[in-house]
Homo-oligomer: A and B are copies of this chain.
Amino acid sequence: MRKTIAKTKILELITRSNTNLSHADIKNLLPDGLCDRVTIYRVLDRLLQEGLIHKVVNIDGVVNYASCKNCEVEHSHNHMHFSCEKCKSVTCLDDINPSFKLPKGYAVKEINFVLSGVCPSCS
């Protein structure tokens, strides 16, 4: 996979942001005219494939993209996410890994944990 301006800038945005970013956020944050919105979709897909970012489906169905911090060893995104209804931020709670016990027979491949409410900064 090739290194392009769009890819570099988008990864930079996601990495530097302290909240998770949606496609719309990225579109707004990128310098006007840097690339087409279709390109953003495609770049995000590539970054996901390469394992440089992970995604969170928010409580409103919007996909948010987050940089992978502790994924050098192995990719696991069992952690919780928080979506603030006031500041609209979506963040990774990297250290919160909910525990639960499934009945036999379930093979889990993906996990999407989201809490919604008011974050510490907004309360």
Which B residue's beta carbon lies closest to that of A100? B98
**A61-B61, A98-B99 are contacts. A113–B113 as well, Cβ < 8 Å?**
yes
Query: How many whole Å from A27's CB to the nearest CB in chain B?
Result: 17
CB pair A58–B57 under 8 Å, yes or no, is yes
CB pair B117–A109 under 8 Å, yes or no, is yes
CB pair B110–A115 under 8 Å, yes or no, is yes
CB pair A115–B111 under 8 Å, yes or no, is yes
Interface size of A by Cβ–Cβ distance < 8 Å? Answer: 37
Q: Within 8 Å CB of A120, what residues of B?
A: 103-106
Which B residue's beta carbon lies closest to that of A111? B115
Scoring A residues 84 to 104 as 1 if CB is less than 8 Å from chain B, else 0, what string do you get? 010000000100111111111
Q: Within 8 Å CB of A110, what residues of B?
A: 59, 115-117
Q: Within 8 Å CB of A57, what residues of B?
A: 57-61, 114
| Partner-B contacts on A (CB < 8 A) | 57-63, 80, 82, 85, 93, 96-120, 123
